Amino acid sequence: MRVLVVEDDHALAEVIAEGLRDQGMAVDLAHDGLAAAAKLDLASYDVVVLDRDLPGLHGDTVCQMITDRAARPMVLMLTAASAPGDRVSGLTLGADDYLAKPFHFPELVLRVHALARRKPDARPRTLRAAGIELDPVRRIAVRDGRQLVLSVKEFAVLEALLRTSPGFLSAETLLEQVWDENADRFTNTVAVTIGRLRRKLGDPPLIATTPGIGYHIA
């Protein structure tokens, strides 16, 4: 899952980003509305965590820009304005959920997962294919009844492959979905992570590679 956090408080933005990354999400940051608009034009996000009172371009305007897109991310408006009227106006602008500051971080994580599942192209909460069952919220992956012990990135790669199954994902697409904008596209980090994941999945092999196309669940 790829998330854009738009928050002008740099310290809070870093805390949110690191917490979501610990949950296996790829997270990009923007500290003002103009930077957010630019990133939204460059990458495809599942969820945008959007502060409302932003410099450069107000969060309300950013929210309306997102709403006008054909294939748009879900929007979680995160703001200190917590009165009922503020919540109503935020949702009226097109936000899909509204969370007031200060907030409980586990609740933020659950809301982000819930929004991702509500996307029109989202898959069911528990992903299943080829004997694998994966629950992104509970962070549990099982193959043929055997629970898998996976790193954060291994879990995220397996989730991405399951969401796309039976389709293919290229290394470049995996970098975009599982890592973030700071990932070095000239490293072999995807191949290394896939190799570790294959070993942990065991036999018979489940992840197939087609040269020039990418990886898929066989």
Domains annotated for the chain, with CATH where assigned, are 2-118 (3.40.50.2300), 127-217 (1.10.10.10)
pTM, whole model, 2 decimals?
Answer: 0.68
Q: What is the pLDDT along the chain (218 residues), one digit of tens a residue?
A: 899 999 999 999 999 999 999 888 989 999 999 999 999 988 889 999 999 889 999 999 999 889 877 778 999 998 876 566 666 766 777 889 999 888 999 999 999 998 988 876 655 568 888 899 998 878 899 999 999 999 999 999 999 999 888 899 998 888 888 887 777 766 788 999 999 999 999 999 999 999 888 999 98
At position 72, the amino acid (one-letter code) is: R
pLDDT for res 186:
66
* Cβ-proximal residues to 132 (8 Å cutoff; 6+ apart), any chain: 141, 142, 143, 158, 162, 201, 206, 217
At position 193, the amino acid (one-letter code) is: T
Closest among 62, 95, 102, 96 to 81, alpha carbons compared: 102
pLDDT for res 17:
94
Closest among 24, 206, 30 to 113, alpha carbons compared: 24
